[in-house]
Amino acid sequence: MTGRKRRAVVTGASTSVGRELARSGVEGGHDVLLCANEAELEQTAVSLRGYGGQAGAKNG
């Protein structure tokens, strides 16, 4: 799969295991879409962007 950007959707991404899975994905070069029902979700996306990848947030 050379030349293709890898993408991942992580549910429950604002806390604990979901957040760590999302971080791992970003560090591994994936664009990550975070999904959760938590107010901290956008803050999590911002912090993950610091690892050099793309991270978007969808609350709800």
Computed on alpha carbons and rounded to an integer, the radius of gyration of the chain in Å comes to 11
The pLDDT value recorded for residue 2 is 64
* Residues spanned by the domain of 33: 7-59
Tokens 């947030």 label which residue? 57
What's the pTM? 0.77
- The residues with which 33 forms a beta bridge, in sequence order, are 9, 56
How far, in Å, CA of 6 to CA of 9, rounded? 11
pLDDT mean over 30-48: 90
Summarize the confidence of residues 39-46 as an average pLDDT: 89
Q: What is the mean pLDDT of residues 35-58?
A: 89
- H or E element in which residue 8 lies: strand 7-11
User: Rounded to an integer, what distance in angstroms lies between the CA atom of residue 16 and that of residue 60?
Assistant: 18
| 13 and 38 Cβ atoms separated by less than 8 Å | no
Please check whether residue 2 lies inside any domain of the structure: no
Q: Quick check: 1 pLDDT over 60? A: no
Q: Judge whether 32 lies within some domain.
A: yes
pLDDT of 42 above 80:
yes
Q: How many domains does the chain have?
A: 1
**What local confidence, expressed as pLDDT, does residue 9 receive?**
94
